[in-house]
Amino acid sequence: MGTPNDFSFDPASFSGQARLFPVPNLVMFPHVLQPLHIFESRYREMTQDALNGDRLIAMAVLQPGWEAEYESRPALYPVACLGQIVQSQQLEDGRYHLLLQGLGRVALGEELNPPRAFRVAKAELRGDYCLPEGATHRRELKRELLDSVRHSVPEVVKQHVQVEEMLGAETALGVLADLLAYSLPIPLSLKTRILCEFNIDRRIELYALGVLALTGTQLNDQVHRYMTSRNDSALSNGGGCADDDLETAGDKPLGSGVDHARIERAVREILAAVGEDPDREGLLETPARVARMYAELFSGLHEDPRIHLQKFFTEKYDEVVLVRDISFNSMCEHHMLPFMGKAHIGYVPDGKVIGLSKLARVVDVVARRPQVQERMTETVADLLVEELQVKGVAVVIEATHSCMTIRGIRKPGSLCVTSAMRGLFRSNLSSRSEVMTLIYGGNR
């Protein structure tokens, strides 16, 4: 294909919409050159559209389970790498050889429905950021990180010319972490998480974890001290605040639609407003932890619970189906404090039933939102009526509210009970009595 062309890119000119090229086994990063072979007709159309326009394509990563929906719109991770086609060659049969230059991370939003075969989504181009620290510290960290790479994985340095050039260049710390993550044969799930991380410090932590998994050894003492000073228990010998994401994420789809940087700035402001020093050691990583926590606790805002109510089984059964004691955690929207408890769901089918686990999944999705308990109860009931088309639905939720137990009136042990009855459970007193008896078993 020859020498790559020099196409300039002005971030301010980005339209806010990205052509999506979803792949299951490749994570592209900013600053790298990625060769691509385009052969599917829909992606040939995408390539031609890009070449006729801004030459931009977003390399997105498919979430696990994509095989079942590959011909439609399988789920994507929430961050993609925006790239520019700097070189192209069309073959006689219509296929393309491309060279894509990584430009930056884009947070993917709502997918659009253009009259085309390929996928397009709203996208926000975002830059790197980090918590305030001295430039001297970062220069030292970068030097030690490079030394660690040379000693830990010398074969990578030899195999990748780009890495060798980078080791002697004036490379920014965030760029360095991206290029190393791209070059190292670390697990795909970890590469994806590094791509989805806008915080440079956090990106380095994940990269260091990848080296540990790859070589069985820690990075050198300077990098290890940096990790332990940030209370990252996944790389230290214990103590500090456990990093739940590192320990449990694996191939779990990442949360989407959450502005981590904005949350971190707000948390720093709150800490300062209450008289704390957000830069002291124990609080330095707190804003990032809170952002990750909110991404998890509010993930239901960006997930449609209806996806769990699409597969039915034809059955003639027309009596009550009840699932009791579905545990959940939610967040009260008034004080942003958690409430937690159990949900009981009963319904009378009308020719088709749903898998029992799907009811629990619906509760879990709906619970992960800021709300009041009354609305949560009605939301679950209305979803079941709309999607299952049943004869009747009963939803009863019992919850303890921390806004009543740790502040204000301070009444531990108090319980709030709400119910939503639909169909025959609302119109027929005996049916309502039956389902309530099944829920409580005559204990109340």
Catalytic residues: 332-335, 373, 401, 403
Residue 270 to residues 50, 278, 337: CA-CA distances in angstroms?
44, 9, 16
Contacts of 312 (CB under 8 A, 6+ apart): 352, 353, 354, 388
Closest C-alpha among 306, 302, 308, 300 to residue 256: 302
**What is the C-alpha separation between 402 and 409, in angstroms, rounded?**
10
Long-range contacts from 416-420, C-beta under 8 angstroms, 24+ separation: 416/339, 416/341, 416/373, 418/373, 418/374, 418/376, 418/377, 419/377, 419/394, 419/395, 420/377, 420/378, 420/380, 420/381, 420/382, 420/393, 420/394, 420/395
Helix or strand (DSSP H, E) at 176: helix 173-183
Beta bridge partners of 325: none
Q: Are 18 and 121 in contact (CB under 8 A)?
A: yes
* Pairing mode, strands 56-61 and 33-38: unpaired
* Pairing mode, strands 416-423 and 392-401: antiparallel
C-alpha gyration radius of the chain: 26
**What is the C-alpha separation between 221 and 124, in angstroms, rounded?**
37
111: three-class secondary structure by DSSP = strand
**What is the C-alpha separation between 143 and 245, in angstroms, rounded?**
27
Encoded tokens for 39: 């052969």
C-alpha distance across the termini of the chain, in Å? 77
**What is the C-alpha separation between 328 and 399, in angstroms, rounded?**
9
